[in-house]
C-alpha cells in the first residue's frame, strides 16, 4: 500500500532527509530556477519519505504561522474544546515539530558533512539533469563528461569535456569547485555555465558570483591570487588554459541575447506566472506533438500554475500538476489525462 504524506506513520525520518526537505522548501519559497524545479520533482519521486518530510515541515510551519498571528486580545479565555487535543493529533504534532526542530538545527546545512568518497564519473548521452548528493543540480549538455568527488571540506567537480550548467546548493563552509582544463571555478550558492572547448574555458554566471582561478605561470613569486577574477550575475569570461598568465582574465557583461544563445542547448523554456492550467496545457501541447496532455475535468482548468519548464519536458510538467497541484493523472495511449481528485 502506498503511503500518502498525510496518512503515513510518524516514524522518525533520517536527518539527511529532513535537511534536504528543508533546503528544498527554502528554495521553493525563494523561487525555483527551471533546473531546480525539475530536480525537486525528481527528488520527491526518488523516495516516499521525501514527500512525507515536505508535508510534515509544511504543516509545522503552518502551525507556527497560526501561533504567530494569535493575540491575547482576541481571546481572553481559551476554548476548552480546543485544548482537548486527541492523542493521535498530539503524536502527529509532536512528530511535525520534531521534524521542524531538526530542520531549524540544520538550516544552513544542506546535508551533514560526510567522509571523502571515491570520485564518480557521469557522462550525458543527451542533455539531461543530475541531482548531486548535496542537493546541487547539474544539467549536462549532450556528450558532456564530469567527475564528482565530494569530501567533508569541498565539493569538487571536474568537467572533462563538453558543457554543464550548475545550480549550486548554498553551503559557505563547503565550497563548490568546478575544474575545467586547469581553470578552477569556485562557488558557494550560485548558478553558472561552464563550457570546455579545446583549451578555452568559457564561464557564464546567471545568478550569484564565482571566483575564477586560471592556471598560474610556474614562476617564483607569482601568486595565484593575482590572476584570479570575480564574475558576477550576467557576466562572463573566457580563459585560455593553455597559456598561463599572471594577469586576471577579462570579465565582460553578457547581454540578454548572449545569455540566450549560450544556453540555447537547454532547449526552449516556458514560464508560467499564475497561468490557468488549461492555458498552460495548451502551451505545452503546442511544443509537444507526440506527448499530449488532456484536461478531462473542467474543475481543474483554472487552477493557477507557477513555474519554469523546458518545453520538451512534458513529464516534469505533469509531475508538478500531480504532486503540487494535486490533480489525478492517468496515461492512456501516449496521452496524459488530468482529472480532479476525489477531494475537489
The 3-state secondary structure of 82-126 reads HHCCCHHHHHHHHHHHHHHHHHHHCCCCCCCCCCCCCCEEEECCC
Grid coordinates representing 10? 510518524
141 and 258 assigned to the same domain: yes
- Kindly state the cell numbers that stand for 140: 549536462
Distance between CA atoms of 263 and 196, rounded to whole angstroms?
14
Question: Based on the domain organization, do 184 and 275 belong to the same domain?
Answer: no
DSSP characters over 140-158: EPTT-EEEEEE-SS-EEEE
Determine the Cα–Cα distance for residues 91 and 66; give it in Å rounded to an integer. 19
Cβ neighbours of residue 335 closer than 8 Å, sequence gap 6 or more: 291, 292, 293, 294
Of 215, 248, 265, the one marking the end of a domain is: 265
317 domain-assigned: yes
Output the pLDDT for position 62: 54
Residues 125 and 224 in one domain: yes
Whether residue 286 is found in the same domain as residue 244: no
Kindly report the CA angle at 182 between 178 and 187, in degrees rounded to 5?
Answer: 25
CB 43 within 8 A of CB 50: yes
b/e sequence 108-127, b meaning 16+ C-beta within 10 Å: ebbbeeeeeeeeeebebeeb
For residue 16 the three cell numbers come to 539527511
Question: Cα(265)–Cα(123) distance, rounded to whole angstroms?
Answer: 16
With vertex at residue 105, the alpha carbon angle to CA 102 and CA 108, rounded to the nearest 5 degrees, is: 120
What total of structural domains would you count in the chain?
Answer: 3
User: Does 135 share its domain with 212?
Assistant: yes
Q: Do 194 and 297 belong to one domain?
A: no
Asked if 258 and 272 sit in the same domain, the reply is no
Q: Which cell goes with 191?
A: 548558478
Q: Based on the domain organization, do 169 and 286 belong to the same domain?
A: no
3-class DSSP state for residue 167? strand
Its domain, for residue 257, covers: 120-265
Cross-strand partners of 193: 165, 204
What CATH number should be reported for the domain holding residue 326?
Answer: 3.55.50.30
Of the three residues 82, 105, 128, the one that is the final residue of a domain is 105
Rounded Cα distance between 186 and 174, Å, is: 11
Residues 124 and 261 in one domain: yes
Could you state, in chain order, the average pLDDT of each consecutive group of 10 residues for the chain (344 residues)? 42 73 73 75 81 76 46 48 45 45 37 42 74 84 91 93 91 92 89 94 94 76 66 94 84 92 84 88 87 91 82 77 82 89 65
pLDDT of 225: 56
- Enter the C-alpha cell of residue 336: 496524459
- C-alpha grid cell for residue 158? 571536474
CA gap 222, 154 in Å, rounded: 25
- Is 150 in the same domain as 55? no
Domain boundary among 265, 288, 318: 265
**In this structure, are 64 and 132 located in the same domain?**
no
CA 124 from chain centre, in angstroms, equals: 19
DSSP state, residue 265: G
Using CA atoms, how far residue 267 sits from 130, 159, 248, in Å, is 16, 21, 33
Cβ(145)–Cβ(162) under 8 Å?
Answer: yes
Are 148 and 44 in a shared domain? no
d(CA 48, CA 8): 10
Copy the grid coordinates of residue 111.
Answer: 546535508
**Is 66 inside a domain boundary?**
yes
Is the residue at 5 inside a domain? Answer: no
- Within 10 angstroms of residue 98's Cβ, the number of other Cβ atoms is 16
Give domain status of residue 111, yes or no.
Answer: no
Look at residue 30 in the predicted model and tell me its pLDDT: 64
Residue 156 lies in a domain: yes
Q: Looking at the domain assignment, is residue 296 inside a domain?
A: yes
Amino acid at each position: 500500500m502506498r503511503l500518502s504524506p498525510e496518512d503515513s506513520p510518524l516514524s522518525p525520518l533520517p536527518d539527511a532527509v529532513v535537511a534536504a526537505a528543508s533546503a528544498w522548501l527554502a528554495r521553493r519559497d525563494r523561487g525555483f530556477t527551471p533546473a531546480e524545479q525539475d530536480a525537486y520533482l525528481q527528488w520527491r519521486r526518488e523516495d516516499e519519505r521525501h514527500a512525507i518530510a515536505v508535508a510534515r515541515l509544511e504543516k509545522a510551519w503552518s502551525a507556527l504561522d497560526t501561533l504567530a498571528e494569535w493575540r491575547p486580545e482576541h481571546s481572553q479565555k481559551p476554548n476548552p474544546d480546543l485544548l482537548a487535543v486527541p492523542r493521535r493529533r498530539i503524536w502527529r504534532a509532536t512528530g511535525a515539530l520534531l521534524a521542524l526542530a531538526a530542520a531549524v538545527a540544520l538550516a544552513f546545512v544542506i546535508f551533514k558533512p560526510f567522509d571523502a568518497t571515491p570520485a564518480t564519473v557521469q557522462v550525458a548521452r543527451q542533455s539531461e539533469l543530475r541531482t548531486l548528493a548535496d542537493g546541487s543540480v547539474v544539467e549536462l549538455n549532450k556528450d558532456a563528461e564530469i567527475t564528482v568527488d565530494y569530501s567533508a571540506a569541498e565539493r569538487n567537480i571536474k568537467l572533462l569535456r563538453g558543457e554543464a550548467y550548475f545550480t549550486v546548493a548554498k553551503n559557505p563552509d563547503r565550497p563548490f569547485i568546478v575544474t575545467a582544463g586547469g581553470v578552477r571555478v569556485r562557488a558557494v550558492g550560485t548558478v553558472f555555465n561552464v563550457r570546455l572547448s579545446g583549451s578555452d574555458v568559457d564561464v557564464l554566471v546567471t545568478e550569484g558570483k564565482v571566483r575564477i582561478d586560471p592556471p598560474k605561470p610556474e614562476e617564483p613569486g607569482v601568486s595565484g591570487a593575482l590572476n584570479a577574477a570575480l564574475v558576477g550575475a550576467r557576466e562572463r569570461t573566457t580563459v585560455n588554459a593553455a597559456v598561463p598568465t599572471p594577469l586576471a582574465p577579462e570579465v565582460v557583461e553578457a547581454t540578454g541575447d548572449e545569455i540566450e544563445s549560450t544556453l540555447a542547448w537547454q532547449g526552449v523554456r516556458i514560464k508560467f506566472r499564475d497561468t490557468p492550467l488549461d492555458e498552460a496545457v495548451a502551451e505545452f501541447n503546442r511544443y509537444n506533438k507526440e506527448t499530449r496532455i488532456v484536461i478531462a475535468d473542467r474543475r481543474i482548468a483554472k487552477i493557477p500554475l507557477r513555474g519554469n519548464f523546458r518545453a520538451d519536458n512534458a513529464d516534469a510538467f505533469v509531475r508538478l500538476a500531480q504532486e503540487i497541484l494535486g490533480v489525478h493523472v492517468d496515461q492512456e495511449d501516449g496521452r496524459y489525462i488530468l482529472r480532479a481528485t476525489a477531494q475537489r
